[in-house]
Structure 1
C-alpha cells in the first residue's frame, strides 16, 4: 500500500474545508468554551437536584443512537488521521511528527483537527444520559469533559506542537469506547476484559500525552517546536491528573471489586 497516496487522498468536503477561517474563528471565540463549561456544570448540579424526586428515564434507544453516532464519528476520525500521522512518523521521524504544525493545515487532517475540537462541546451530552437515567456520576467523568473542552479550544487557536498526537490518540480510544457504549446500551453482553482494555488504553494515552509534553518542552528550547510554556504546563497537569484518576478508576472498578469478591467467597 502506498502510504503517501493514502495519506494525501482527500474527499471533496475535506478539500473544501477552509482551515484558515476555522483557526481565525477559534482565535476569536475559544473563550466561549468557558461559557459552555459553566452551563454544563450548572446542568450537572441542577439536573441531579431535579432528578432526586423523579423516576429515572430509560432512554435506551436514544442512548444507542447517541453512542453509535459518536463511535462512527471517532472511527472516521481515527481512520483519517492515523495514516497521516503514521506517514509523517515513518518518513520524517518522531520529532517532525510531534513538532510539525501541518496536522492543523495539511490535507485530510485539517478538517479532522477542527472537527475534533468542535466535537468536545456536543460530547458533553454524554452526561445528560447519566443524569436522566439516574446513574452514578463520578468526578472523573465531568472533570474530563470540561478540561478536554477547555484545553482543546485553547490549544487549537495556537496550533501548538503535539496536537496531532493528542487528537489521533483520542480519536482511536473514543472509537473503541463509544462502540462499547453502543453495544452495552443495545443490550449486548460485552466481556469485562473489553472494558478493562478500554481503561488501560486510556491510561496509556495519558502516559503518552505526558511524554509528548516532555518532548515538546525539550525541543521547544532549541526552537524546533511551536508551543509556549503556559500551554505545556496546563497540558502536563491535565494529563497527569487524568493518569492518576484513570488508574484510581481502574483499581476501584476491576482490581478492588475482584479482591472484595474473593474475600466474600
Structure 2
C-alpha cells in the first residue's frame, strides 16, 4: 500500500463533509473572496497591533509553543511533500514535463485534498508573524507581504483548478522543511551554519516558478492564437505546438507572475542586505 493510500484509508472520509476534503466555493472554509480577503486583512491588522502593544513591553519568550509550531510545520511539510510527489511525479516522468504542468488528470481527488491541506498550512504559517511580534523580533515588509500573498496565491490555485501548481508547491514545501527545522533547532539552542543557503533556495524557487509560468503561458498562447506559433517556435522551440488543452488560466498567470517576480526581487534585496553588505561592513571593521 502506498503512503497516500495508507493516509486516505486512515481518514474516515465517509464521515467527513466533502467540503472539507474537496474545494467547494461557498461551502469549504476560506473558499470565497468575501471571506479570504477580510481574514488576510485582519492578519495584517493584528500583526501591526501586536507590534504596537509590545513596543514598550518585555518580549514574551513562548519558546515551547514556538518550537512546537515549527515542529508541526516541519513534519507536516515533509509528509505533504512526500504525498504530492508520490502522486504526481510518476505521471510526469512517464508523460513529460508538459503533462505535469498542464495535464488535467493530475488534478485527482487525492491531489485536491493535498492542495487544500497546503492551503490551510498557509494560515497556520501566519502564526510565524504573531510569534515575531510577541517575541519582539525584527518584523519586515517582506515577511508580512510574503505570508499574505502566498495564502492568496494558494487560494487562486484552488479556485482556478491549476493542476500544475504541485510543481511550485513541492518546491515550496522542500524549502519549508529546512526552514522550519532551522527555526525549531535554533530555538532549542543549536547553532546552524546554513541559514544563508535557505535564502538562496528561496531565490532559486522563484526563478523556477517564473520559468514554469512563462512556459505554460507561452504554450497556451501558441495554441489559443495559432498565428503566434511560427514566431513563438523561433523563440522557444521546445513548446509542443499544435497540441491543445492546459489546466491553467491566464487569470491565474496574471496574478502569479507579478507575485513571483516581486518575491524574487525582494528576496534578492534581502540576501544582498543581510549577507553581502554585512560581510563588507565586517571586512572594513576588521
TM-score, structure 1 normalization = 0.90
Aligned to 2:272: 251
Asked if residue 195 in structure 1 is aligned to residue 195 in structure 2, the reply is yes
How much has 1:209 moved relative to structure 2?
A: 0.6
Aligned to 1:147: 149
- Segments of 4+ moved more than 6 angstroms: none
Tell me, what secondary structure is at the counterpart of 1:181?
helix
Unmatched segments (≥5 aa) in structure 1: none
* Equivalent residues in 2 for 1:1-265, closer than 5 Å: 6=2, 9-11=5-7, 12-13=9-10, 16=13, 18=18, 22-25=22-25, 29-31=31-33, 32-107=35-110, 109-191=111-193, 194-221=194-221, 222=223, 223-265=244-286
Distance between the aligned counterparts of 1:253 and 1:40, measured in 2? 26
* C-alpha contact (below 8 Å) 2:60/2:134 kept by paired residues: yes
**SS at structure 2 position matched to 1:136:** coil
Residue correspondences, number: 258
User: Aligned partners of 1:8 and 1:58: how far apart in 2?
Assistant: 38
By how many angstroms is 1:146 displaced? Answer: 0.4
Partner SS state of residue 59, structure 2: coil
Unaligned stretches of 5+ residues in structure 2: 224-243
Please report the TM-score for the alignment, with normalisation by the length of structure 2: 0.83
Greater Rg by CA: 2
Tell me which of the two structures has the higher relative contact order, counting C-alpha pairs closer than 8 angstroms and 6 or more residues apart. Answer: 1
- CA positional deviation for 1:27: 7.8
Structure 1 residue 264, shift from structure 2 partner:
0.6
CA offsets 1:39-93 (integer angstroms, 9 cap, x no match): 1111122111111111111111111111111111001111111233321221110
Cα distance in 2 for residues equivalent to 1:75 and 1:132: 27
RMSD over aligned Cα atoms: 2.2
